[in-house]
Structure 1
Amino acid sequence: MELQNKVAVVTGGCTGIGRATAVALADAGVRAVAASWTRSAEAAEEFARVVARHGCEAMTVRADVADDTAVRAFADSVLERFGRADVLVNNAGTTRAVSEADLDGLSDEIWHELLDVNVVGAFRSTRALAPALREAAGAVVNISSISAYRAGGSSIAYGVSKAAMLQLTRNLASALAPDVRVNAVAPGTVATRWQTALHGEEGFAERALAEREHVPLRRTAEPGHVAQAVLGLLGMDMVTGETVVVDGGKHVRY
């Protein structure tokens, strides 16, 4: 897929992996990146400045992927402003830290929230933009997680939601073929605000150091490493329904 002058949409795109992906898309030649956000207007403003410095028009809209009306309005605003959508990166996600052994702590409310945002949210966004993506012969990349393959992680519900996202990827690859390719990236530990929010600055540093002792590449991934995989999948014109794991080889020693 040639990215020059294309329009990309990144849900949850104003920080971390989403912002790194938007910058990588800008550097690859897209003319505009539209990002949704839910929490920080300040982060959205900074996103727009960063993307503009990379020679790309930026658009930010407050839109919760758990709200179908907001998702459809976001899609409409993208098409109204730019006239097209060629790439969709379903990056918006959430979690709750609940110990694996604490079954009673994993309430129905948490299950519904995580599945609604992480799985149904990606479906809503894809559905809303599907006509435009079909018209553009575009591509979708879903951001899943190594937690889709491994027990553990922030909670059972999070891992299940990310595993479901892989099945969603396969189903959408079939449903949108032959016009739109749909793939996924499953990051391992990535140095983002997400991790420090879960574990604290010192806690995450200690966890990352310990992990590097047995991860084959002996490094902790940065958001840009995930963005590399996203752009790699966008460039693979005969690949659909697949997932690339970005974890420094952690999964091979599970």
Structure 2
Amino acid sequence: MQKTALVTGGSGGLGTAICHKLADSGYQVILTYNSNQSSADQVVSALSGEGHVAFQLNVAHSQAIEELAKQVAEISPQLDLLVNCAGMTKFVAHSDLQGLSDELFDQIFQVNVRAPFAMVRECESLLREAKGCVVNITSIAAQTAMGSNIAYCASKSAAENMTRSLARALSPDIRVLAVAPGLVDTEFVKGLDDSWRNQQEQSTPLKRLANDDEVANAVFAAAELLTFSTGTTLAVDGGRPLGN
């Protein structure tokens, strides 16, 4: 029986790479997008194999997540892999406390913490049927507390803590892991200031940034290779916490 994966935020940079890796490995991929249907349709059409589909989803709305789980159940009686890749942030200097409003703080936690929990909650029965795996995409910011803003860093730390709690709560049927990228050399990052980007590279022991395929490979490894691992975080950061 063909395995099925659900990838939230599957039309984004990292999400697209993850979808391609899974499709190339024989998965039927169900991906979600927030607003850009055209981009999502392009991702689906470019995936190898058949049966892939995209659904619109605002992960901040738990009722919408509940409806999505019903749609997934109509496609497959079991869910082998759930990848919580959807996330959000906004650049606010850590020293600018007034710039981080309550509204933005709450929105970041809704999307980066509550939504992954709601996804697992609504897909639990499908995951149990498959004895499946959940992979939460977190960030090096969970460890370093350096990132786009204070709330973002805190949300990723919370997501990793939640990963451990869910791994314990859902064992032995469902494994739950996190993949924590460092700075990934996406098209967005390539468009940033060269001197800043070069500084980040030189502060990383491997002297380069991650690419999105390396993050996708870590997700695949969590699902298919590290079958005796749960409740842990896989770092894809080039050893950045060891740097200056």
Please say whether Structure 1 and Structure 2 have the same fold, judged by a TM-score greater than 0.5.
yes
1:9, distance to aligned residue in structure 2 (A): 0.3
Question: Which one of 113, 117, 124 corresponds to residue 111 of structure 2?
Answer: 117
Per the alignment, in what secondary structure is the counterpart of residue 52 of structure 2? strand
The normalised TM-score by structure 2 is: 0.95
Question: Which one of 31, 54, 59 corresponds to residue 53 of structure 2?
Answer: 59
User: What amino acid does structure 1 have at the position aligned with 2:19?
Assistant: A
Per the alignment, in what secondary structure is the counterpart of residue 177 of structure 2? strand
Q: Distance in 2 between matches of 1:244 and 1:56?
A: 30
1:67, distance to aligned residue in structure 2 (A): 0.4
Unaligned stretches of 5+ in structure 2? none
User: What amino acid does structure 2 have at the position aligned with 1:150?
Assistant: T
| Matching of residue 33 in structure 1 with residue 29 in structure 2 | yes
1:206, distance to aligned residue in structure 2 (A): 3.3
**Cα deviations by residue, 1:22-80 (Å, 9 ceiling, x for unpaired):** 111111121x10011102111111111111xx224211011111101111111111110
The normalised TM-score by structure 1 is: 0.92
| Matching of residue 251 in structure 1 with residue 241 in structure 2 | yes
**Cα deviations by residue, 1:69-114 (Å, 9 ceiling, x for unpaired):** 1111111111102332110000010001100000011111011000
Q: Distance in 2 between matches of 1:147 and 1:192?
A: 17
Q: Distance in 2 between matches of 1:202 and 1:109?
A: 27
1:193, distance to aligned residue in structure 2 (A): 4.8
Q: Distance in 2 between matches of 1:80 and 1:142?
A: 24
Match of residue 180 from structure 2? 186
Say if 1:100 and 1:155, in contact at 8 Å, map to a contact too.
yes
Q: Distance in 1 between matches of 2:126 and 2:187?
A: 32
Match of residue 103 from structure 1? 97
Per the alignment, in what secondary structure is the counterpart of residue 144 of structure 2? coil
1:126, distance to aligned residue in structure 2 (A): 0.7
Per the alignment, in what secondary structure is the counterpart of residue 88 of structure 1? strand
Match of residue 146 from structure 2? 152
Question: Which one of 41, 45, 48 corresponds to residue 41 of structure 2?
Answer: 45
Distance 1:165 1:194, change over 3 A: farther
Say if 2:145 and 2:154, in contact at 8 Å, map to a contact too.
no
Say if 1:181 and 1:241, in contact at 8 Å, map to a contact too.
yes
Match of residue 87 from structure 1? 81
1:222, distance to aligned residue in structure 2 (A): 1.2
Per the alignment, in what secondary structure is the counterpart of residue 94 of structure 1? coil
| Matching of residue 170 in structure 1 with residue 164 in structure 2 | yes
Say if 1:15 and 1:47, in contact at 8 Å, map to a contact too.
no
| Matching of residue 77 in structure 1 with residue 67 in structure 2 | no
User: What amino acid does structure 2 have at the position aligned with 1:216?
Assistant: P
User: What amino acid does structure 2 have at the position aligned with 1:92?
Assistant: A
| Matching of residue 141 in structure 1 with residue 135 in structure 2 | yes
Identify which range, 216-225 or 172-181, moves more after superposition: 216-225
Q: CA RMSD in A?
A: 1.4
Count of residue pairs the alignment pairs up: 243
Distance 1:194 1:10, change over 3 A: farther
> Percent identity of the aligned residues?
39
Identify which range, 82-91 or 165-174, moves more after superposition: 82-91
| Matching of residue 17 in structure 1 with residue 7 in structure 2 | no
1:153, distance to aligned residue in structure 2 (A): 1.0
1:251, distance to aligned residue in structure 2 (A): 1.3
Say if 1:95 and 1:154, in contact at 8 Å, map to a contact too.
yes
Q: Distance in 2 between matches of 1:113 and 1:236?
A: 33
Say if 1:36 and 1:74, in contact at 8 Å, map to a contact too.
no
Unaligned stretches of 5+ in structure 1? none
User: What amino acid does structure 2 have at the position aligned with 1:240?
Assistant: T
Match of residue 204 from structure 2? 215
Q: Distance in 2 between matches of 1:195 and 1:121?
A: 25
